[in-house]
Amino acid sequence: MKPFETLARARTAEGSALTLHRRGGDYFIYLDGEELMSTRRNHSEAALATLAWRQLGRVERPAVLIGGLGLGYTLCAALELLPPAGRLVVAELFPVVVDWNREYREESSAALRDRRVQLVAADVGAVIATSVDRFDAILLDVDNGPAAWCLESNARLYGRRGLAAVRRALRPHGVLAIWSAFPDRSFLKLLRSNGFTPRVESVRARGDKGARHTIFLATLASSGIGLRRS
């Protein structure tokens, strides 16, 4: 068996240990000893972008917010779909994660250099809270689910105030997409009661195999989907 190497370590503001590991050609990010993401299981992270695009429909100049860079799979998938006039904001709380992508992940390093991409070193919740009618899509992959937070401070993203902030930040035909390690019926109910029309997609972690992950897709309850200018 190939050795499991620890390449880098960092501490979050809340005191958690964030570590980067490599085994063979694969990379893994752990938080307090728990695997957050890896290059071995990345299909659902890319699907977060592709499913959101399918839900959104055609927009000539889309503005998209991605919360959480991870290992860059959502970013790379979104860039493949983003038209030349589109723009993509990536909010990543941990600068070290950006550094790891630039050093070890050639594909995501190239994506971060794309002229359509703006990297913001900030909590995605803060970006959402200060945005009004700004985004056509908001893609969140910062936790293991709406009730399984990597950081306690992320809880506010999924509550009533957090969803109200998302509503304000989205344009009328906008889409909210959230990655989760598991289904959550109570969160679907919360989305409905806070002005969204939600649905879920079950996606394999490794293409046609591996664990099933959940993608929450939600549009504003009064919105329709189709061609429009942004």
Q: What is the pLDDT of residue 227?
A: 35
What is the chain's Cα-based Rg? 17
Q: What is the pLDDT of residue 70?
A: 93
Per DSSP, 156 falls in state G
Residues 6+ apart with CB under 8 A from 224: 173
56-67 mean pLDDT = 93
210-230 mean pLDDT = 69
Helices (H), the chain: 43-56, 73-81, 95-104, 106-112, 124-129, 160-169, 185-193
The answer to whether the predicted template modeling score (pTM) of the entire model surpasses 0.75 is yes
Burial call 189-214: b when 16+ CB within 10 Å, e when fewer: ebbeebebebebbebebeeeeeeebb
Residue 65: pLDDT above 60?
A: yes
Task: Quote the CA–CA distance of 161 and 176 in Å, as a whole number.
Answer: 15
**Which one-letter amino acid corresponds to residue 109?**
S
Residue count of the chain, please give it: 230
Q: What is the pLDDT of residue 222?
A: 65
Share of the chain above pLDDT 90, in %: 72
